[in-house]
Amino acid sequence: MQGKIRILFIGDLVGEPGRAIFQKHIATIREKSAIDVVIVNGENSANDGRGITPTIMEFFKENGVDVVTTGNHVWAKKEIYPYFVDHKNLVRPANFPAGCPGSGVTVITTTSGVTIGVLNVQGRVFMRELVNCPFKAAESALTYLQSRTNCILVDIHAETSSEKIGMGHFLDGKVSAVVGTHTHVQTADERILPGGTAFITDAGFGGAVNSMIGMQTNIILKQMLTQMPAKYMVELNLPYQLCGVIITVDAQTGKATAIERLKIIDDMVQL
């Protein structure tokens, strides 16, 4: 077993632009940054920016993704429901009702023999879905995960900075990393918390730069001005961006030793 592992976490990929820029750059990132594990939030990766499909899961697998996390849009495409039965590389928030398909935790082993646990939870503040307490869900899930490994990453898919920061401090010293998703805006507060847990409030998103969190601005602005219903559409115009974090973890202790932001802007991506 090697002394450290390098985890690449990519924030919410939105539609075709998010998948395209990820596919273009992932091999280079892996080689340049000596990445051992790739985790992607894929709940917006369908063509319309809502949900995920089995075909997209195969796309992620072919491009070296080890685990895909999700959030409030995970059920947008019904064809993904059966996928959870036989696959452990896709997780949904652990604090969803027990009758939901799938699980909120998974465990993988890297080619170097390091076992890594991944936990997905969803926040409650300003979120429409009625879900159980993410803090209690995380605490319960750790009972299982900590019996398997010291190296654990948590994706908290939440609206407010305070709830995500709260989860970071709640789990500090108990997990290797807590990474926030959902708001699609990369924050500049990446750090190692006192107990050795890497943290960032939001990893950012992959998709069109000149958009509103990956969607066409004119539609959303009209909705804001008129308060009339509107169907959001993914922005396809270049340039695109890819955002995330690279986390270095001591494989023996599970403590993080470094976290660095990743942001790539590319105006030459082809769909």
Query: Which are the catalytic amino acids?
Result: 73
Least Cα distance to 203 among 54, 28, 8, 11 occurs for 11
Q: Tell me the residue ranges of DSSP E strands in 92-225.
A: 105-109, 115-122, 151-157, 177-181, 191-192, 198-200, 205-208
What's the CA angle centered on 125, arms 123 and 127, to 5 degrees? 75
CA dist 108 → 57, 96, 239 (Å) = 16, 22, 34
> Taking Cα atoms as reference points, which of 178, 122, 182 lies closest to residue 152?
178
| Total Cβ atoms within 10 A of residue 32 | 9
Is the preceding peptide bond at 134 cis, omega within 30 degrees of 0? no
Cα three-residue angle 16-21-24, rounded to 5 degrees: 120
Closest among 183, 253, 246 to 39, alpha carbons compared: 246
